[in-house]
Amino acid sequence: MPAGGFVVGDGQKAYPGKLTPFVLFTCVVAAMGGLIFGYDIGISGGVTSMPSFLKRFFPSVYRKQQEDASTNQYCQYDSPTLTMFTSSLYLAALISSLVASTVTRKFGRRLSMLFGGILFCAGALINGFAKHVWMLIVGRILLGFGIGFANQAVPLYLSEMAPYKYRGALNIGFQLSITIGILVAEVLNYFFAKIKGGWGWRLSLGGAVVPALIITIGSLVLPDTPNSMIERGQHEEAKTKLRRIRGVDDVSQEFDDLVAASKESQSIEHPWRNLLRRKYRPHLTMAVMIPFFQQLTGINVIMFYAPVLFNTIGFTTDASLMSAVVTGSVNVAATLVSIYGVDRWGRRFLFLEGGTQMLICQAVVAACIGAKFGVDGTPGELPKWYAIVVVTFICIYVAGFAWSWGPLGWLVPSEIFPLEIRSAAQSITVSVNMIFTFIIAQIFLTMLCHLKFGLFLVFAFFVVVMSIFVYIFLPETKGIPIEEMGQVWRSHWYWSRFVEDGEYGNALEMGKSSNQAGTKHV
């Protein structure tokens, strides 16, 4: 009989616990950490297509844009400083997520969220008051630091807080607020762009203070997760908190398992080096491949540059911001579908369905743009039906992403890592996500300029590869308690050879104390 937790029919554990108002509240507040990330993603594309902003900070791009539409449209936005503006944030986020790993592990998840909020606030203010390009870039670096902290801590926080049966849905609250942040930013851009005098961009950029304050204040009122409290030796408080979170008195089974997981985790001196051990190979692979593939769907080409892209294919500035609002709404709505389905249909189903949908859309969009713009990028007159077809397929593509790789790209990593590597592995996930977001942001405009419509085919190719990867290598994690995840690797046809019986996670499941199970030092 395993120590802690009772075993349900299929050999998996089930802990008592309800979806209490308390856990719901804490998860909703914590999930708002996604707002700062989303707001930023949504705001930069719109701002960089506002003529007054371009004229002031990026005059050469502005001049190119004013030139006759008969010139090569694929290349009008190709400017190194403009791309640097967009992507500097992601490099900063990458660095800070590594620092956040230590803060999250040693001082708790909420302190990282608090740092995230404060840094983001500072960045937003500098951007809102920017007078020179360097101020814009410094501001964005601070925003990036904030995002690195928040994205490292929030998904972990949610996965640890949630009762395991609702973990998927509650965790996707993070992605939902990312999408809401994107949409709000796009709507604001739409209106701010109309402000006479052309200073609307200041409101767009400075407006980031609002989501920053939400997460700053939120993190002050939130409790830390029981897992993190135990990890820091606060056992009694953790037990009381666990009772409150789960809404039942008898939490001893889950509590004992958390303590055992924590003991195992304490014996690890070098969480980073530890990640390289053979038994963590499946986790490390997923920590790297999932965010890599998430970015290789090409979603951020749409998210950052939707207005630019719509502009390129012939919409006016106003109409292109409006189209971005349309894609933003689809993004939010489709995320709700994922919240509904993730704990019912499972992660694998959503990954594979979403992948197929994205693939079809990418092929259609590439064909449409190719047919109209050819290879020299001169479209001539664009009929209305054409614009409608392109926007429709872009929306179906966004929906596919929003119920698959979008939320699952954050959910799956945060739920598969055992406690002893959780913080470090999550930092790897955030860093890989940021570096590829950065690379794509950096090279997209140049790629559009050179590859033209073929760009969409490159992403389509990766969608095929990632779907095959999920089909072969990703086990289903639906409905499995987070500290019990070891079993999914042990019963996997490929990963079982790395995660042997008697190794990872067995301390919990075989009822041994973690000391007996013996986690070796590296």
Interface residues with ligand BGC (CB under 6 A) are: 41, 175, 178-179, 182, 294, 299-300, 303, 331, 406, 409-410, 433, 437
Rank residues 88 and 433 by Cβ distance to ligand BGC and give the closer one.
Answer: 433
Rank residues 300 and 514 by Cβ distance to ligand BGC and give the closer one.
Answer: 300
Q: Least distance from C-beta 409 to ligand BGC, angstroms?
A: 5
The CA-atom distances, in angstroms, between 450 and each of 75, 373, 445, 453, 454 are: 8, 13, 9, 9, 9
Give the Cα separation of 384 and 315 in Å (integer): 10
Rank residues 4 and 34 by Cβ distance to ligand BGC and give the closer one.
Answer: 34
Give the Cα separation of 485 and 479 in Å (integer): 10
Rank residues 126 and 434 by Cβ distance to ligand BGC and give the closer one.
Answer: 434
- Categorise residue 14: left if φ over 0, alpha if ψ from -120 to 50, beta otherwise: beta
In eight-state DSSP terms, residue 6 is: E
Give the Cα separation of 49 and 193 in Å (integer): 9
* 108 contacts 231 by C-beta, under 8 angstroms: no
Q: Least distance from C-beta 406 to ligand BGC, angstroms?
A: 4
Rank residues 41 and 287 by Cβ distance to ligand BGC and give the closer one.
Answer: 41
Q: Least distance from C-beta 130 to ligand BGC, angstroms?
A: 23
Pairing of strands 13-14, 6-7: antiparallel
* 401 contacts 298 by C-beta, under 8 angstroms: no
Rank residues 73 and 433 by Cβ distance to ligand BGC and give the closer one.
Answer: 433
Helices 299-312 and 384-402, interaxial angle, to 10°? 170
Q: Least distance from C-beta 522 to ligand BGC, angstroms?
A: 31
Rank residues 73 and 294 by Cβ distance to ligand BGC and give the closer one.
Answer: 294
In eight-state DSSP terms, residue 13 is: E
Rank residues 179 and 311 by Cβ distance to ligand BGC and give the closer one.
Answer: 179
Q: Least distance from C-beta 467 to ligand BGC, angstroms?
A: 17
Q: Least distance from C-beta 147 to ligand BGC, angstroms?
A: 10
Of 203, 160, 124, the C-alpha closest to 27 is 160
Give the Cα separation of 70 and 378 in Å (integer): 6
Give the Cα separation of 511 and 507 in Å (integer): 6
Instruction: Encode 419-446: b = buried (16+ Cβ within 10 Å), e = exposed.
Output: bbbbbbbbbbbbbbbbbbbbebbbbbbe
Rank residues 186 and 231 by Cβ distance to ligand BGC and give the closer one.
Answer: 186
Q: Least distance from C-beta 110 to ligand BGC, angstroms?
A: 22
Rank residues 259 and 398 by Cβ distance to ligand BGC and give the closer one.
Answer: 398
Helices 281-296 and 405-416, interaxial angle, to 10°? 170
Of 208, 173, 203, the C-alpha closest to 190 is 203
Q: Least distance from C-beta 38 to ligand BGC, angstroms?
A: 7
Q: Least distance from C-beta 179 to ligand BGC, angstroms?
A: 5
Q: Least distance from C-beta 354 to ligand BGC, angstroms?
A: 12
Strand, helix or coil at 14?
strand
Of 32, 29, 326, the C-alpha closest to 183 is 326
